[in-house]
Amino acid sequence: MDLFKVISVDEVKKMLNEAFEKTVECEEVDIKKAIGRIISKDIVSSINLPSFRRSTVDGYAVTSRDTAGASESIPAIMTLKGEVIMGKAPLCNLALPGECVYVPTGGMLPEGSDAVVMIEYTDKLDEETILINSPVAYGDNVVQIGEDIKNEEKVLQKGTKLRPYEIGMLSSLGIGNVQVYKKPKIAIISTGDEIVGCDEKPKLGQVRDINSYILSSAVLEDGGEPINYGVIKDSFEDLKNTVDDALDKCDIVLISGGSSVGKKDQTLKVINALEESEVLVHGISIKPGKPTIIAKTGDKVVFGLPGHPLSCTVVYKVIVNHYINKITNYKYEDYPVLCKFPINYHSAKGREEYLPVILESTENGEIIANPVFSKSGLITGFTKAWGYVKINKNDEGIKEGQTVYAYKF
């Protein structure tokens, strides 16, 4: 029997990094449609933002030194020179000591002023005279030119995933279209004679397809374009024809099921029969997910993922997602949560284990990572969990009270 030779998760990632040079092509998109896309070029500002000194309050633009020592009992008496209109440059400046100009929030400061006194700290004596009851320092209630973004400043680095905030910033700079990496096209194929579609009623011995739905949603979440091939029965011809078509159209092919050593498992046979096929991996020291196949066909990669939904998902998250990030140049950082583990847990030594956990906050401010014990064929292992803790390959488990990192799923 063909038993697999397992290699570690780190070795798999290194192998993928070295075996594939490919990155996806770039395209220009409207920023209104750029959410979640990864930029393919550094973005450098060609303007100062703001481009004029702007008040952050409704009040009076003054020269700060004119307000020194001002109080309600001894206010600074100022001459009102006029009013700044929103969206327009001021029509009057402060030329002489003791002058002020009314400026609304967001209005441009007139020349000669260096701070704004909030209207609450003033009294209007008459149409031309304002009493200032509280001093201001240089720059108070003012946004300076370029305080947000400086001309020629690099504001976004290639490899950044765009969030709503970055898109707002691009708009503020007048950048309405942005260069991004194309979404990698990812074929999703479920295999197995026992698998039926979500809209079918399974007969005894049959199960509904879960993996296509998990993988397709995960691909969308991770910035790819899923191409769904549905369920293919355990037939060499059917699976081979489907994979050939998928390789033609997609950057990555995901086949779930049939990756193990069962009699009807066709995945490896089909992968071996593909043109220019080279099996890089058959077996990863990971729990769950050991019977995983990774093959190179030209510049494309085929992943044979385990059929068990939990195993399939873990391998997707740990390995496939790494590869998607690599070909889209996404500089991804994980920020796990530091938790306490509540029990003694013995793990399978020699396999990197991904254990689903539910987080719980305690009164003394600690976060407890409660393990969810689940078999890899059960989907609720993840629906109940917040994320997972990772147990290293050479660790025997986790001790009660030990500090662990929990990663969000």
Ligand X SMILES: Nc1nc2c(c(=O)[nH]1)N[C@H]1C(S)=C(S)[C@@H](COP(=O)(O)OP(=O)(O)OC[C@H]3O[C@@H](n4cnc5c(N)ncnc54)[C@H](O)[C@@H]3O)O[C@H]1N2
Positions that interact with ligand X (CB under 6 A) = 190, 192, 194-195, 207, 209-212, 256-262, 265, 288, 290-291, 306-309, 311, 376-377
Computed on alpha carbons and rounded to an integer, the radius of gyration of the chain in Å comes to 31
Q: Which residue has the tokens 């004679």?
A: 193
| Angle (nearest 5°) at CA 184 between 181 and 189 | 170
Q: Which residue is nearest to ligand MOO (CB)?
A: 311
CB 196 → ligand X: shortest distance, Å? 9
3-state SS class at 35: coil
Q: Is 350 left (phi over 0), alpha (psi -120 to 50) or beta?
A: left
Where does 243-351 show beta strands of DSSP type E?
A: 252-256, 277-282, 286-287, 293-297, 300-305, 337-340, 345-346
> Which amino acid, 241?
N
Q: How near is the Cβ of 280 to ligand X at its closest, in Å?
A: 17
Nearer of residues 11 and 42 to ligand MOO, judged by Cβ: 11
Residue 54 vs 308, nearer CB to ligand X? 308
Which of ligand MOO, ligand X, none does 287 bind, CB closer than 5 to 8 A by kind? ligand MOO
For ligand MOO, the closer CB: 1 or 25: 1
User: 262 touches which of ligand MOO, ligand X, none (CB within 5 to 8 A by kind)?
Assistant: ligand X
Decide which of ligand MOO, ligand X, none touches 40; Cβ closer than 5 to 8 Å per partner kind: none
**Which option in ligand X, ligand MOO, none does residue 256 bind, with CB closer than 5 to 8 A by kind?**
ligand X
Residue 49 makes CB contacts below 8 A (sequence gap 6+) with: 146, 148, 149, 172, 173
- Listed in sequence order, the residues at least 6 apart from 272 whose beta carbon sits closer than 8 Å to its beta carbon are 279
| 166 contact choice in ligand X, ligand MOO, none (CB below 5 to 8 Å, kind-dependent) | none
| Closest approach of ligand X to the CB of residue 300, in Å | 21
Q: Which residues bind ligand MOO (CB under 6 A)?
A: 287-290, 306, 308, 311, 376
Report the nearest approach of ligand X to the CB of residue 325 (Å).
Answer: 24
Question: CB burial class (10 A; 0-12, 13-18, 19+) of residue 101?
Answer: buried
* Helix, coil or strand: residue 169: helix
Please choose which of ligand MOO, ligand X, none residue 265 contacts, taking the beta carbon within 5 to 8 angstroms, the exact cut-off set by kind: ligand X
Nearer to ligand MOO, 212 or 292 (CB): 292
For ligand MOO, the closer of residues 130 and 315 by Cβ is 315
Of the CA atoms within 13 Å of residue 67, those in its CB half-sphere come to: 28
- Going by the DSSP 8-state scheme, the letter that residue 149 receives in this structure is B
**Beta carbon of residue 296, minimum distance to ligand X (angstroms, whole number):** 20
Which residue has 């479920």 as its token pair? 190
Least distance from C-beta 279 to ligand X, angstroms? 15
Q: Which two tokens stand for residue 56?
A: 């952050």
- Residue 144 CB, shortest distance to ligand MOO, in Å, is 58
